[in-house]
Structure 1
Amino acid sequence: MTMHMSVLASGSTGNAIFIENENHSFLVDAGLSGKQMEGLFSQIDRSIKDLSGILVTHEHSDHIKGLGILARRYNLPVYANEKTWHAMEPLIGNVQTDQKFVFPMETVQSFGGLDIESFGVSHDAAEPMFYVFHENGKKIVVMTDTGYVSDRMKGIIKGADAYVFESNHDVGMLRMGRYPWSIKRRILSDVGHVSNEDAAIAMSEVLTDNTKRIYLSHLSKDNNMKDLARMSVAQTLEGCGLKVGETFDLYDTDAKTPTDLYKIV
């Protein structure tokens, strides 16, 4: 059995990640409109109606914008922890009771040979959590919104074959940018988003010889650029003794264009 993945969309305007094995497929977050989500799926030659479910990380709009529409249109199961359900229910419209599933933080749920592990992060939402996908010793980590990466989180995500890893902002761009100071302070805080450099430092402590790909995700459209993120992360990793292009590579993600379906081997 083999896992495939695609970062359908990632950024300040909307986030969605597709992961499948031979028997099940899941969407992590649905942060774009229903029409946009359908278009993204068509670009990777997959259908939303075939999903086993949608896994929700937290209730911010760039992660749930299309959730209610997709759940209703395709009668999909939706998984989230109780606090996230409570926070997002007023935002997503009516979802039938038999489509609502509670996925507690720090637990593992199994779908055939695919084990999905939830873990908590530090972000200003009700109870934000992300996911690790395990199958046959292979591991995919999705972590796109956290103010910092704790030792506990590093232990959970260490040694993945592929990462969707937040690289939200360049600190200099953010400090000099047009955002009001209250927003800058929130982004820079422990419940905001990690910078390019902080992301790379965390990566340096969790990458192993298993790691082949790191998708730099949730880039701020105002306070980051793809080339800058890649360069900053690569430089910081090399300063920690890890060279991009040897055992692993960095990949861009985009707010409107999905990455190619990647097979975890």
Structure 2
Amino acid sequence: MRFSVLASGSTGNAIYVENDEHAFLVDAGLTGKKMEQLFAEIDRDMKKLSGILVTHEHSDHIKGVGILARKYKVPVFANAKTWDAMEKGVGNIPLEQRFHFEMESIHSFGSISIESFAVSHDAADPMFYIFHEGDRKLSVITDTGYVSDRMKGHIRGSDAFIFESNHDVSMLQMGAYPWNTKRRILSDVGHVSNEDAALAMSDVVMDKPTQIYLSHLSKDNNMKDLARMSVTQTLQSRGIICGEYVHLHDTDANNPTKLVEV
């Protein structure tokens, strides 16, 4: 498998995953034009997509879903409650392109198996995805207020993680956001902080080469250097030294990561 985090942040999210047979998008939270630009930057053809996998109905995850589905005739997968919640946001998608991917289920596409699992976020029925091919495993978890033992059980031992590291708690608390917004972000249905993300990572990383992409960073309440430093220090306090077998990577709201192999 190969993947690229095309964009990650509060302004839009999209992740590309492929093998030699199939290609998928996890979310398409940017305009159709921007999505086409991002595909061009990784030298990939949107016409070859096998499907768009939707995690939840928030606009930074579905903004481009409808236009891409209609323009490129791409199948769209989501659970029933998410389909209901995102109807207005994605517009009319032909019935033959609408597929149900229910919570805690596995769908196989050739040699790739995709597993869904529940997260804790303020959406209708939010879930994320794990990609399996042979003994290789890629886990995506970018919108959750906390990482439960059940979530950890799903993603444990992945070769690569696209993992939320949304905010620095002090920056958020001292920042200009209204208190209701701060309370929502800090809640169990909001987003995980740098430190909480790292604590969860320390429970799911195994003793093998592992790539971690720090994702969904808040543009107002986090910085790439700060997120990397906080995660590195917290992992080190738990006996995991970054740079040995665990490697951290940045993601960006506007620029894709390099297409890399899992």
Q: TM-score, normalised by structure 1?
A: 0.98
1:195 correspondence with 2:174: no
1:26 aligns with 24
**Mapping of residues 58-137 of structure 1, within 5 Å:** 58-137=56-135
What RMSD in Å do the two structures reach over aligned CA positions? 0.5
1:48 correspondence with 2:51: no
Query: Paired residues, what number?
Result: 262
**Once the 2 structures are TM-superposed, how far is the Cα of residue 54 of structure 1 from its aligned partner?**
0.2
1:150 aligns with 148
Q: Which runs of 5+ in 2 are unaligned?
A: none
Q: Distance in 2 between matches of 1:243 and 1:254?
A: 24
Instruction: Give the letter aligned to residue 220 of structure 2.
Output: D
1:205 aligns with 203
Q: Distance in 2 between matches of 1:8 and 1:213?
A: 16
Can you list the C-alpha shifts for 1:152-188, whole angstroms capped at 9, x where unaligned? 0000000000000000000000000000000000000
Query: CA contact under 8 A between 1:159 and 1:211: conserved in structure 2?
Result: no
Can you list the C-alpha shifts for 1:49-90, whole angstroms capped at 9, x where unaligned? 100000000000000000000000000000000000000011
**Once the 2 structures are TM-superposed, how far is the Cα of residue 259 of structure 1 from its aligned partner?**
0.2
SS of match in other structure, 1:227: helix
Q: TM-score, normalised by structure 2?
A: 0.99
Q: Distance in 1 between matches of 2:24 and 2:238?
A: 34
Q: Distance in 2 between matches of 1:92 and 1:209?
A: 42
1:159 aligns with 157
Q: Distance in 2 between matches of 1:178 and 1:221?
A: 12
SS of match in other structure, 1:159: coil
2:179 aligns with 181
1:240 aligns with 238
Q: Distance in 2 between matches of 1:211 and 1:38?
A: 32
**Once the 2 structures are TM-superposed, how far is the Cα of residue 211 of structure 1 from its aligned partner?**
4.3
Q: Distance in 1 between matches of 2:122 and 2:46?
A: 29
Q: Distance in 2 between matches of 1:62 and 1:213?
A: 24
**Once the 2 structures are TM-superposed, how far is the Cα of residue 210 of structure 1 from its aligned partner?**
3.4
Q: Distance in 2 between matches of 1:139 and 1:212?
A: 10
Query: CA contact under 8 A between 1:10 and 1:255: conserved in structure 2?
Result: yes
Q: Distance in 1 between matches of 2:88 and 2:261?
A: 37
Instruction: Give the letter aligned to residue 218 of structure 1.
Output: H
Instruction: Give the letter aligned to residue 178 of structure 2.
Output: P
Q: Distance in 2 between matches of 1:211 and 1:167?
A: 20
Q: Distance in 2 between matches of 1:211 and 1:233?
A: 17
Q: Distance in 2 between matches of 1:161 and 1:86?
A: 34
Instruction: Give the letter aligned to residue 153 of structure 2.
Output: G
Q: Which runs of 5+ in 1 are unaligned?
A: none
2:138 aligns with 140
Q: Distance in 1 between matches of 2:245 and 2:88?
A: 45
